[in-house]
């Protein structure tokens, strides 16, 4: 692949490809043993300490959750010799595993995001891959989509990293033909596997990418913590998450929510991780009244300088006139995929790109 530039998502990628070139979408269910219960405790099976979690940790029964999985054209579960990279694509605060699908609309009676993925693969822009659309609330009431700062459903967003590491990724890599194998705990295995996983998200899913995957602060209800909310949304920061950079080499935040940690905190986590973040792609619309100032600008400020040489390709993409909507987020997913994995043009010096693209309806 020879992708190297950030560009607007072409209109034709919204159209469905021929039937025989389309991927398939399935819903999968799996056990989750690491989640927030109704008493605001962290249920876990990994002996996670109270000091790390920032709350009481207990053992408990597994809960069942679901995710949607896009499988590229030609995927055959019986072809164990044909393996794929995986992107985990996270939803927003009021969304669920269907937000990137149904909330994003349809064209030619097909989900727009699936049309985009099909086109990227069919046109040779990216290698075929698997895309996982999770339920981002790691809580016993994960189906509750309300915005309630005091709710355990909201708290679950800030503990999704444990579910990712110990439940979701192991399920995906045991159920589907993936290049990565989380069961390989050798140093060579860890180094190889993270090159075949990417994580990105919109709004609070962008916050999860930054705070949970790179390493920023968890949040809880200000009523519980007794601290003033710096965002005036009823939430305040608590303990720092350890990050998932040993699992992911590519990260994307699209209109990341205001509770995202600041750039110096995130850069410090990258610098101290002992891992190279090969791609960090951050984007936002400059007319986004929710995320632009308190989310995006705060997260990029000082990040690169503190991260140092552990951060390689670094993209800051402002969408002119862009709001808090799928016109920005689809562009983010489009470019992030083109510039991750082996889809990017080989280059010896890291790309450090700060650019503005014109927003438009897609």
- Three-class secondary structure assignment of 241-257: CCCCCCCCCEEEEECCC
Provide the 10 A C-beta neighbour count for residue 213. Answer: 28
Strands 63-71 and 217-221: unpaired
Q: Are 270 and 304 in contact (CB under 8 A)?
A: no
What local confidence, expressed as pLDDT, does residue 358 receive?
Answer: 87
Q: How far is CA 93 from the centre of its chain?
A: 13
41 CB-contact burial (10 Å; exposed 0-12 / middle 13-18 / buried 19+): middle
What was the pLDDT predicted at 293? 97
133-153 per-residue burial string, b: 16 or more CB within 10 A, e: under 16: bbbbbbbbbbeebeeebebbb
Share of the chain above pLDDT 70, in %: 99
The residue among 8, 341, 71 whose CA lies nearest residue 200 is 341
The whole-angstrom separation of Cα 193 and Cα 289 is 38
Q: Give the pairing type, strands 63-71 and 85-90.
A: unpaired
Whether residue 268 contacts residue 305, with contact meaning beta carbons closer than 8 Å, is answered with: no
Residue 75 pLDDT:
98
Which segments in the chain show pLDDT lower than 50?
Answer: none
* The pair of three-digit structure tokens given for residue 139, joined into one six-digit string: 């809580």
The CA-CA-CA angle for residues 30, 33, 36, to 5°, reads: 115
Q: Within its chain, how far is the Cα of 175 from the centroid?
A: 20
Q: For tokens 């995929």, what's the residue?
A: 337
Residue ranges and CATH numbers for the domains of the chain are: 11-358 (3.40.50.1820)
The Cα 161–Cα 213 span in angstroms is 7
The total of other beta-carbon atoms located within 10 Å of residue 46's CB is: 12
Q: Rounded to two decimals, what is the model's pTM?
A: 0.98
Alpha-carbon distance of 282 to 203, in angstroms, equals 11
Cα-flanking dihedrals φ and ψ of residue 361, to 5°?
-70, 135
| Cα separation, 186 vs 158, whole angstroms | 28
């Amino acid at each position: 692949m020879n992708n190297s530039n950030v560009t607007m998502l072409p209109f034709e990628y919204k159209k469905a490809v021929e039937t025989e070139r389309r991927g398939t979408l399935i819903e999968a269910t799996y056990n989750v043993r690491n989640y927030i219960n109704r008493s605001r405790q962290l249920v876990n099976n990994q002996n996670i300490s109270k000091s790390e979690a920032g709350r009481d940790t207990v053992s408990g029964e597994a809960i069942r959750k679901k995710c949607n999985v896009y499988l590229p054209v030609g995927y055959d579960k019986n072809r164990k010799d044909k393996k794929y990279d995986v992107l985990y694509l996270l939803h927003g605060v009021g969304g669920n595993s269907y937000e990137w699908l149904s909330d994003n609309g349809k064209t030619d009676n097909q989900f727009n995001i699936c049309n985009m993925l099909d086109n990227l693969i069919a046109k040779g822009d990216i290698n075929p891959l698997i895309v996982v659309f999770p339920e981002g609330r790691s809580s016993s009431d994960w189906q509750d989509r309300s915005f309630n700062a005091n709710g355990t459903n909201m708290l679950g967003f800030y503990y999704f990293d444990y579910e990712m590491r110990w439940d979701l990724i192991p399920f995906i890599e045991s159920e589907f033909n993936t290049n990565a194998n989380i069961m390989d705990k050798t140093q060579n295995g860890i180094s190889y596997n993270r090159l075949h996983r990417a994580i990105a998200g919109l709004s609070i899913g962008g916050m999860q990418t930054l705070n949970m995957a790179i390493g920023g602060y968890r949040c809880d209800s200000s009523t519980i913590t007794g601290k003033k909310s710096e965002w005036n949304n009823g939430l305040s920061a608590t303990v720092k998450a350890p990050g998932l950079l040993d699992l992911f080499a590519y990260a994307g935040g699209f209109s990341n929510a205001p509770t995202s940690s600041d750039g110096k905190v995130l850069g410090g986590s990258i610098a101290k991780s002992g891992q190279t973040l090969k791609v960090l792609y951050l984007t936002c619309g400059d007319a986004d009244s929710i995320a632009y100032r308190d989310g995006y600008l705060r997260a990029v400020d000082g990040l690169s300088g503190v991260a140092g040489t552990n951060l390689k390709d670094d993209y800051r993409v402002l969408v002119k006139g862009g709001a808090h909507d799928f016109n920005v987020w689809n562009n983010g997913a489009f470019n992030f995929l083109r510039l991750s994995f082996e889809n990017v043009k080989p280059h010896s010096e890291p790309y450090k790109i700060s650019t503005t693209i014109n927003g438009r309806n897609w």
